[in-house]
């Protein structure tokens, strides 16, 4: 039950990032400090929550890149100034919709 609550929180953060960036270009993303900071915050929260999930739960859902999600959190938290904006944009535009769908599927089980 605890893991499902954590996944629900992760889903809310992922949904925010997707919503904030819909109909946005990379150029708009990198030029908008408020949008950038909101996305960075939400991505770091998603990563932080992965560490709270039970290891057996994570093994149950190998389709989710748990280690990479936490790794992104570490890069954001420990090297904010050096975060590659192009990489963040690719994660947001390409990976977040898939993550959102997968977390939704996990939540629906």
Q: Which amino acids are annotated catalytic?
A: 73, 78
Task: Give the torsion through C-alpha atoms of 23, 25, 29, 32, to 10 deg.
Answer: -80
Please compute, for residue 80, the number of CA atoms within 13 A of its CA located in the half-sphere on the CB side. Answer: 9
Q: How far apart are CA 30 and CA 85, in angstroms?
A: 7
Q: How far apart are CA 22 and CA 92, in angstroms?
A: 10
């Amino acid at each position: 039950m605890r893991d499902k609550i954590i996944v629900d929180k992760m889903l809310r953060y992922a949904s925010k990032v997707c919503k904030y960036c819909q109909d946005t270009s990379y150029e708009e993303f990198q030029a908008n400090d408020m949008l950038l900071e909101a996305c960075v915050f939400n991505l770091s929260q998603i990563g932080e929550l992965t560490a709270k999930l039970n290891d057996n739960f994570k093994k149950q859902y190998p389709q989710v890149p748990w280690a990479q999600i936490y790794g992104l959190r570490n890069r954001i938290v420990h090297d904010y100034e050096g975060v590659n904006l192009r990489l963040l944009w690719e994660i947001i535009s390409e990976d977040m919709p898939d993550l959102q769908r997968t977390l939704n599927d996990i939540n629906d089980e």
